[in-house]
A and B are shown apart, each in its own frame.
Chain A
Amino acid sequence: MSGSIKDRVAIIGMGCTRFGELWGKGPSDLIVEAVNEALADAGIEIKDIEAAWAGSIFSGHGGRSVSEPLRLQFKPVSHCVNACASGHDAVRNASYSVAAGIYDIVLAVGFEKLKDEGTSGLPGMDNLTHTHAVATMPGMFAMMATKYFHRYGLSPQEGKTMLAKISVKSHYNGSMNPKAHLRNVLTVERVLNAPIIAWPLGLFDCCGVSDGGAAAIITSAELAKKFRPDPVYIKALQICASPTSGRLTTDYDFTHVEEGYRAGLAAYKEAGIKNPRKEISMAEVHDCFSITEAVTMEDLQFSQRGKVKEDIDAGTFELTGALPVQPDGGLKCFGHPIGASGIRMLYELYLQLQGRADKRQIKNPKLGLAHNMGHEPLAPTVSVCIVGL
């Protein structure tokens, strides 16, 4: 196997809805809104789309979920269901179809209408059928925090303060983003005093429950500059699906995510990156819970194992730091409408690379990384996408 997607396809248009509790909008509204923005951005029309890939878990029901609202006329549409990596997987499959020379212009669209599910948190995560813990997602990630604090000798107060700084940083960024759901600026004190959801995680350590949609128009590297002078090229698209080793073996220690580490390794290899901390300009990672972001910094080799606290304390991941993380506010401010999240992350990297991120603009970024982690720490599916100019 020697193939690589690096610089073979490019994103020429993107769109993203405002995220939030969008009671008056359904999945079709989110799709049409996101795709309209992407089409206008690329300077093309719906009829120019040759094929489409949808990313969604709860709101999608096959390719028709997208062809129907867009009135796509008898085109091929596939539906990617791959946990929280569904949006990235839609981009991945769409990109591969262009790289294979099958199509010139394709659409990847992610969407989720979580507020139609009638649950708090994510629906259907409480099955008792097997040997899964009677644990919610906050519960599973709280167990990761407990273990991380224990292994690296952090008192609960030290550990919770480390996590609080992650939320404070992301909310500061999100406060400057008109498309974010939660735009409140926080203080460490407020995060620490928030109600406990699953100890040690409090309210602001957990992402919200939001609706949203995001879309990308993808073409070949050869055609890209016919559409715009500043297309954003795909450098790497990797997905690592867990063999669920964390459930089966006592080796897995709950303080890292092996699948995240390996997806990162594969993506760095594909993109030709030797020193991720120096070469990656910015990252949008899966901060479903603050502990997830902390551990992800280590899995992606931005921080040394057990040392992420030093980088958080030093402000490394803040907007003005050496490696800004969640410049748009992340899942903390956008919630996690599952199929939409991965493409929403790419939307921010795309704007940043083109110098269109307004008050959040990072100085002269070259490479951006987007990361999604599906399921729970014991058995995740992780995607890593790298894009650049």
Chain B
Amino acid sequence: MTQPAPASPVFWRFNPEVFRLIGIKCQDCGHISYPRTKICHECGSQKLEEYQLPKRGTIHTFCVNWAPPPTFEPPIMPVIVDLEGGGRYQGLMTEFGAPEDVKIGAKVEMVLRKLTTDRGLNVYGYKFRLVEE
């Protein structure tokens, strides 16, 4: 359960999913899932096609974490975001003013940011920021 090194093959393997936001859409029932599965969660079909998710969504819930994982400076604001059209992404908020501005139901968009530094290498990933409606 230790953190893989930044050069681990796991990052390369998850590249389409984590960085290109490729989820799956079931050809039988139309269910959209993110993260990807091998078997449709809704109907059990294995006829799945890749599906490009949008980089927009709505905050489902959040917290303000004052005791974050090692290498992160507190506070961080983890969010669960329901993506437009289906799928769910867990990540961190960025570029918010006051924590009070972050609310359940707020619209957000994804931006690529450095998440942390691990063993001398930068680790990149998506964060969310609030969008004006």
CA distance in complex: A144, B86 (Å): 20
Across the two chains, which residue of chain A brings its CB closest to B91?
Answer: A133
Q: Which A residues between 202 and 258 are near B, CB-CB below 8 angstroms?
A: 243, 245-250, 254
- Would you call A131 and B37 a contact (CB within 8 A)? no
Q: Does A199 contact B (CB under 8 A)?
A: yes
In the complex, chain B residues whose CB is within 8 Å of the CB of A146? 61-63, 104
Residue of B nearest to A120 (CB): B67
* Known A130-B14, A136-B68; further 8 A-B contacts with Cβ < 8 A: A120-B67, A127-B3, A131-B34, A146-B62, A195-B66, A248-B35, A249-B88, A250-B86
With A124-B2, A143-B78, A198-B65 already in contact, the answer to whether A133 and B60 are too (CB < 8 A) is: no
CA distance A279 to B15 in the complex (A): 52
Known contacts: A124-B3, A133-B80, A133-B91. The answer to whether A143 contacts B18 by CB under 8 A is no
B35 touches A136 (CB 8 A): no
Chain A residues close to B by CB (< 8 Å) = 120-121, 123-136, 138-140, 142-147, 150, 195-201, 243, 245-250, 254, 378
Task: List, in ascending order, chain B residues with CB within 8 A of A200's CB.
Answer: 63
Taking CB atoms, residues of chain A closer than 8 Å to B78 are 133-135, 139-140, 143
- Min Cβ gap A212→B in Å is 20
Q: Is the CB of A250 within 8 A of B87?
A: yes
Per DSSP, chain B at the interface is mixed
Does B27 count as interface, using CB distance less than 8 angstroms?
Answer: no
- Is B10 in the interface zone, CB < 8 Å from A? yes
13 contacts across the A-B interface (CB closer than 8 A)? A126-B70, A131-B34, A134-B69, A134-B91, A135-B90, A142-B63, A143-B80, A146-B61, A146-B63, A150-B61, A199-B66, A249-B88, A254-B61
Question: B65–A249 contact, CB under 8 A?
Answer: no
Residues of B within 8 A of A250 (CB): 60, 82, 86-88
Determine if B111 is an interface residue (Cβ-Cβ < 8 Å). no
Interface band, chain B: 35 or more
Q: Kindly list the 5 A-B residue pairs having the minimum CB-CB distance in the complex, ordered from nearest.
A: A124-B1, A126-B69, A133-B90, A142-B63, A199-B64
- Complex: A126 Cα to B78 Cα, angstroms: 12
Q: Return the contact of B34 from the options A133, A134, A248 (Cβ within 8 A).
A: A248
**Bound CA span A38–B133, Å:** 63
Point out the residue from A144, A145, A150, A198 that lies within 8 Å of B67, measured CB to CB: A198
By a beta-carbon cutoff of 8 Å, the part of chain B in contact with chain A is 1-4, 8, 10-11, 14, 17-18, 31, 33-35, 37, 41-42, 60-70, 72, 76, 78-80, 82, 86-92, 99, 104, 115-116, 118, 123, 125
Q: Looking at the assembled complex, report how far the CB atom of B80 sits from the nearest CB atom of chain A, in whole angstroms.
A: 6
Contacts known (A134-B78, A196-B66, A197-B67); A128 close to B61, Cβ less than 8 A: no
Give, as a whole number of angstroms, the nearest-CB distance from A207 to chain B.
14
Question: Across the interface, do B88 and A123 meet the contact criterion of CB distance under 8 Å?
Answer: no
B33 contacts A143, C-beta separation under 8 Å: no
Contacts known (A124-B3, A198-B63, A250-B86); A129 close to B68, Cβ less than 8 A: no
Inter-chain contact A245/B125, CB cutoff 8 Å:
no
Report Cα–Cα, A136/B70, bound state, in Å: 10
Given A139-B63, A143-B62, A248-B41, also A254-B80 (CB < 8 A): yes
Tell which of A136, A201, A247, A250 has the most Cβ of chain B within 10 Å: A250
Residues of A close to B79: CB separation below 8 A:
133, 143
Query: Complex: how many Å from CA A124 to CA B3?
Result: 7
- Decide: B64 and A198 in contact? CB cutoff 8 A: yes
A136 touches B18 (CB 8 A): no
- With both beta carbons as reference points, the residue of chain A lying nearest to B82 in the complex is identified as A250
Partner of A198, one of B66, B80, B115: B66
**A133 contact set on B, CB distance < 8 A:** 78-80, 90-92
Q: Within the assembled complex, what's the spacing in Å between the Cα atoms of A123 and B63?
A: 20
* In the complex, chain A residues whose CB is within 8 Å of the CB of B88: 246-250
Q: Closest residue of chain A to B125, judged by CB? A: A128
Which partner residue on chain B sits nearest A200 by CB separation? B63
Q: Are the CB atoms of A135 and B65 closer together than 8 Å?
A: yes
A147 touches B14 (CB 8 A): no
A147 to B78, CA, bound (A): 13
Is the beta-carbon distance between A132 and B90 smaller than 8 angstroms?
yes
Q: Which of A145, A243, A378 contacts B41 (CB 8 A)?
A: A243
The closest CB in chain A to the CB of B118 belongs to: A128
Residues on A with beta carbons closer than 8 Å to the beta carbon of B62: 143, 146
